[in-house]
Structure 1
Amino acid sequence: MPTVALLGTFDTKQVEYGWLRERLTEAGCDVLGVDVGTFSDDDGGGLADISAADVASAAGADLGELRAAGDRGAAMAAMADGAAAVVTRLYREGRLDGVLAVGGSGGSSVAGRAMRALPVGVPKLLVSTMASGDVRPYVGDVDVTLMYSVVDISGVNSVSRLVLGNAAAAVAGMAAAHERRRREPERDDGRPVVAATMFGLTTPAVDEARETLAELGYEVLVFHATGAGGRAMESLVTSGLVDGVLDLTTTELADDLVGGVLTAGPERLTAAGRAGVPQVVSVGALDMVNFGPQETVPERFADRKFLVHNATVTLMRTTEEEMAVLGGRIAGKLAAATGPVEVFLPLRGVSGIDTAGGQFEDAAADEACLAEIRTGLAGSAVVVHEVDSHINDKGFGRAAAEALHRLVTNNRGNR
């Protein structure tokens, strides 16, 4: 039988969670109640298989002390960390096929933190009053399924019965499928998996690399470097689901440095290095910072060079100083990598508009970036290739792909 963790505040939502437990049992699921309510009884009103005290302890906290402190924010943060530790342990022990939670903003924040700790592919369903707004704080970069509660999570009524009933049925079905996969894993076709980053203005290079890798027998997962795409790729690498990374498009680093809208955060370009996953990296689209419509560009950038890409995207050219900082950051991240790394530096432009006569042509700025990479990686184990071509010229993507193939092949042979 599939096992679903029913995760919630059993001090305030006993009626709702009791009703859900019955529906999941009727659907053929085993249920593990995980109580994250800071004022729950020891058994969570008979619903808790893992008590609130145990959840707090998993975060290194004491439930009594959390109550006595009277700091709701700190208590919720501790219970969120504890819940993440609990569901992760259950998953690793083979005792978890799905997670279901319901709640308002507080309960959703705790449940979202726990769900984001689980690998991609583990069913995660959150019924929330917050699901109709900005959901990034709850979903993050993993496959959390959100369902809007329509009415508040306050008892079981004619509307919530429909919504919660659908939620229970949905997670039961997903958990059953997960349990079958766990019991009878799908046959691995043997193809190694590579994650690649792409932007519209680096598409020719990435397409050539992707086609080359496909010819060499790889499954290639392409991520659009829009902030969310970069974070999703980093998360997938951390989950251990890829054998190599072809990071030709590192443009999100420019948004993180300058304040654009497509930042993937300061941890971008670190997951593969920490995990020892082979990676080939380039400087694709570092010539630009992304903003929304032109009228949304901050006033402090009024004297900069812009290109209106379309009605919703405005591009701003990075300066020589900014490109130098970006080169230094890339070198620092790659020098710290624990796995094999090669860098490909295109000497004639880094994007589709950074070309001879192009709107963002700036050879001095590009060279400032490349010079910092050369200097920062000098004496390191990272191999640097200087290619006398534009990043989108024929042959660049193929050369990068072939280099990654060599690294992945060697890495597999050394296991």
Structure 2
Amino acid sequence: MPIKNRFAEMLPEVTEWRRDLHENPEILFDTIRTSAAVKAKLTEFGVDDIVTGLGRTGVVGVIKGKTNKSGKVIGLRADMDALPIHEATGLDYASKTDGAMHACGHDGHTAMLLGAAKYLSETRNFDGTVVVIFQPAEEGGGGGKEMCDDGLMDKFGIQEVYGMHNWPGRPVGSFAIRPGSFFAAADQFHIEIEGKGGHAAKPQETIDTTVMASHVVLALQTIVSRNVDPVKQAVVSVTSFETDTKAHNVIPQRVTLRGTVRTMDQDVQDLCEKRLSEVVQGTVAVFGGVAKINYERGYPVMVNSEEQTEFAAQVAASVSGTCEEAPLVMGGEDFAYMLNERPGAYILVGNGETAPVHHPEYNFNDEAIPAGCSWWAGIVEQRMPVE
């Protein structure tokens, strides 16, 4: 029986797991219930070894194949955490936790990898070892880095690692991937501008922070338009403009700006950080103010390995009939830390015409489950075939 047919049979069961996870979202490293549920399922499946506590609340399962002549060890990773968003789907299995929601589909990722783990534990139709990785805190917490720092790759002897993300707007169950740089480095900045506050009717007696900050916002846009090579990718976005007063007749003493910088290579990342500081300090100095800047490097660029990407695309095509080239994504993804340690690939699976991720009306499309599970299992069976 083709793998996809087996997972079509399993669809009601995996859907039930997914919806239970959706109903009980947990944020960042606080995936206590989720991690326990994952461990319980892996135990039920007869996974050979289960380790908890990597990356604080991560769960790792080891599944051995029928044979191990190849000595190969492949890691498959799914993220488990939700987002601090109030759900607005109106679903009968909507979040029970106020202010937390699976708005990025990590419930689907976890359920699909559990489905693959059950199948692989039943069939063992591969030559080598599979390590299934359930990671907390992808949404800004760097859970992937913490699992790597805890020795994930060396402890389990992982040689290659693969990840997947659902993608709204793509046909359900279709795939897209690209070699090389795929998801952007995601940095953030916090700027405090200080001037001299005063009465709005007497601006000549102040050093107006709102005017300074407004000029800074506009000037920062020149980093991309006038400093970055036009054939390279970068985004500089100021996302928060906050004063220390709400009064209509007060020029504030301080203004705080926050935002993000997204880049696709190290040189552009370095340039943007350098120019941001120069632009802010220079602009503020012109008006007689001062600025304090806190620039934090976030997730690195996620880079797919050439060989593993080609193989992952072949497996995807065997599941859905085709695999397209994905566009560059300026969002961040902490699977980058795992790909920095081992060769591997990250793929997108279509979620259909749904609300976008990180939206209060988003929902993972359960119809994508057979394709996603089939890709996980196909990676294993085709990369480590039994002779």
Same fold (TM over 0.5): no
Q: Which has the higher helix share?
A: 1
Q: Which has the higher strand share?
A: 2
TM-score normalised to the size of structure 2? 0.25
TM-score normalised to the size of structure 1? 0.24
Q: Which has the higher contact order (CA 8 A, sep 6+)?
A: 2
